Structure 1
Amino acid sequence: MSYIKIIDSRFENPCELPFASAIKAGFPSTAEGYEQDSIDFNRDLIRHPEATFYGRVYGDSMIEAGICDGDIAVIDRSVEAEDGDIIVAYVNNEFTIKYLDLSHRNQGYIELRPANPAFNPIRISSADDFKVWGVVVWTIKKWKS
């Protein structure tokens, strides 16, 4: 199972980095002057600073969604979760990151679905201590040490 450790995102000092605005995934471009702007993760990835947190992902239950062990999730607590969203849930005293499946609401339960066939969905009923803690709006991935 994957779990997530919440990290506060409200930094006092912004960190602006050079931003190459057009990176093609096809053939290389011969254009000069790639650096056209700057990106500040706190400014550009966070729409609701007072309700947004970073969280480090541990485990591989979301690997087929492209979310791997060590990735950082940007979680917005002000976004209302919808069926199919990747959420951070608080379930029985633990945080987890999964797809939200509301298709069984009429049957009295919902499911938190992993993105790895080695893991089973988590069935949530009224007996569980459950809360949608936030919606994952971005992920940040490290490719090389």
Structure 2
Amino acid sequence: MLIEEIGIVCRGFVLYRKNFQEEISEIQDFKKGAFFSAINSFSKSLFSEELSYIEATNHITFFSITRIESIEEEYYEDLIAYAIFNIKNRKKTEKIITKKIKPILDDVLKKFKDKYNRKSLVYVDQYEDFNTELEIVLKH
């Protein structure tokens, strides 16, 4: 298993992303953020469940979702952490998700929420320094 990207989405926008492979364009970020938010809303509306993962032939995108409060809104919003990783052995996928990916994303969400809850979420530049927290999470 190789994590290719970890990111955080809110309101359809990628607030933070760390890519461990080739760099992608802002247009791809925009599409990804909008898609992840939309499909999570769809899953909640249709099934009353949050999205857990999307599986492709060689990749899985796993989601961990919590709620965050910003100063712009008077209600909590979905904060979606995602990890895109390639899979070589499908038999171990569930174990990898529960033992490695989910704990990483849960920790990333906790650190992000601790740092940015009840703050303005619209200034994307403020998230650049989140790399330090992510590096700490990934070392454990």
TM-score bracket, normalised by the shorter chain, equals: under 0.3
| Superposition TM-score, scaled by structure 1 size | 0.27
Higher helix share: 2
Instruction: Flag the structure with larger Rg.
Output: 1
Higher strand share: 1
